[in-house]
Structure 1
């Protein structure tokens, strides 16, 4: 029987875990390092905190009229974001990161309506002049932020790297966004837990997966409460204010990148989330603002929320 080995590391602002099946620990460790290197490559490439990243280069040129040429990998991600903006009717917008200038979740302070409104003219993917190869942010102060999908993309890339290295079975878990390398060699699927949105460290449900990916978005990851009202980091780019309808949304799909984007859009769609997810043909589990659990997902082991 081929054993499995676990590895933990920090990347993209979260705790990451790998579970890999390999003949021995040395083989597993070598493959794990390849996956870790791939995650950290993408973190460096798309971090808005690094002045040498492609995202920082694009942001620094905002309003200058300069067109920034991007490599094929980045072009693919920008094309993905472009398609999602259209499919979500503007809810998925990678220019909305500038809203963090007034939303300080560490300080737990609600900004004024005027402060939020002042940023909205600089939010809007149509203001990013994207031609498929080059991009120019038309207004000074605009920014791109890949935070809405970089981690999920990195999970997929790490899983692909492990598969190419000869790992037939395993999981890549980047802060709760999971991409499967493949089932355990015994044929047993992996049991993946879904975090409880109100009980830190607890699992609200678990699902058996052998292939594909699981992603979750929630109002608990970065949030605060004031006068009994919860404010979370998922902001509607059309209004600048946080979502309130769902505590969490989890989606199972063929890739973590797509699953993660769908969870974010669903969080932003309110009452229309279930209909939207059904149209996408994915399995999902949601928890509404009152803590009620809704699921259209096979083989889910549920605990009481």
Structure 2
């Protein structure tokens, strides 16, 4: 996270507000905190800075784009049980559970397939990665040992944790801010809304229309909940026009049934992973997945239809 975009302190009646934005994890991260106690201002600034440090730390662990990340180093030791950090272990464990729930449509070993279609450039350095392996591994080739906290790869693989690591970082950053009356941690539209806004109400969050910039599919009111969205419009291959990054690992083809999938969940790693998983599934399977987890989804189909799944929050 090399630079700070802006820092704002505002007085809103009896409330204090801080907003800061930084670049990290391939997107802009904005943190907003509100509190009525002016004596909290210094602590607000300290906690916001710590929250940004968490994003940087998670990126150092989980990035597949950096050869020096913990994930990249561990992945190079095929056939060996490698002890890994709690951050890497927990994100991997959650990703593998999502793989089992979707019978492999969601799969963290999709990284090599993503490299092959052009998603292999570091957003800061511009350097590209072309790992000299074939895309043959599946999630079943990642073995985790909880007692020893180790990871073992049975086959060479490029592991991509993009669908869980950002959500994990949002959750950990949010934990730094819970002593305040209200806050939002927003990483490129994936967010956690804690407490209440400056008016004492749940935060009003818009769900962006995937095809009409500036328009919303609807709004949700959130307090101590996360909202994450996966969309075909988010990342397009520089090598293959029209090809997006959401690839079904079973078919090795991009999912085409949805334009966007937004999920409301109790925490961001769950919302992040379920929005990606639902995007990869056929409508009936996606609906079953969301309902079984007791989540709420707003889905926009490729033929311009809105589908709401679960208990409505709009």
What TM-score do the two structures reach when normalised by structure 2?
Answer: 0.83
Say if 2:291 is the partner of 1:278: yes
1:23-66 alpha-carbon deviations (Å, 9 max, x no partner): 4454432221111111111111212233332101112223xx22
8 Å CA contact retained: 2:262, 2:298? yes
Partner-residue secondary structure (3-state), 1:285: strand
Q: Please give the per-residue CA displacement for 1:204-258, whole angstroms capped at 9, x wherever unaligned.
A: 322111221111111110126999x942210011121100000001111101111
Match of 2:109 in 1: 95
- Alignment match, 2:85: 71
Task: Name the one with the larger helix percent.
Answer: 1
**Which residue of 2 is the match for residue 10 of structure 1?**
23
1:1-305 to 2 correspondences below 5 Å: 1-22=14-35, 23-24=37-38, 26-62=42-78, 65-104=79-118, 119-121=134-136, 123-132=137-146, 133-140=149-156, 142-163=157-178, 166-184=179-197, 186-223=199-236, 230-272=242-284, 273-296=286-309, 298-300=312-314
- Structure 2 distance, partners of 1:2, 1:45, is 36
Structure 2: where are the runs of 5+ without partners? Answer: 1-13, 122-132
Structure 1 gap segments, 5+ residues each: 108-117, 301-305
Residues 31 and 233 (structure 1), Cα distance of their counterparts in 2 relative to 1, 3 Å cut: same
In the alignment, which residue of structure 1 is the partner of 2:125?
none
Aligned-partner Cα distance in 2 for 1:161–1:264: 26
Q: Any idea what the Cα deviations from partners look like across 1:110-150, whole Å, max 9, x if unmatched?
A: xxxxxxxx9442x301112332322221223x122211211
Give the secondary structure class of the aligned counterpart of 1:95.
helix
CA shift in 2, pair 1:162/1:281, >3 Å: same
Report the secondary structure of 1:232's partner residue: coil
Distance 1:105 1:77, change over 3 A: closer
Instruction: Write out per-residue CA displacement over residues 87-123 of structure 1, whole angstroms, 9 at most, x where no aligned residue.
Output: 111122111111122212699xxxxxxxxxx9442x3
Q: Could you say what secondary structure the match of 1:295 adopts?
A: strand
**Structure 2 CA distance for aligned equivalents of residues 106 and 92 of structure 1:** 19
Please tell me whether the aligned partners of residues 244 and 254 of structure 2 are also in contact (alpha carbons under 8 angstroms): yes
Q: 1:226 to 1:286 in 2, by over 3 A?
A: farther
Over aligned residue pairs, what C-alpha RMSD do you find? 2.4
SS at match of 1:199: coil
Native 8 Å contact 1:137 1:143 kept in 2? no
SS of match in other structure, 1:221:
coil
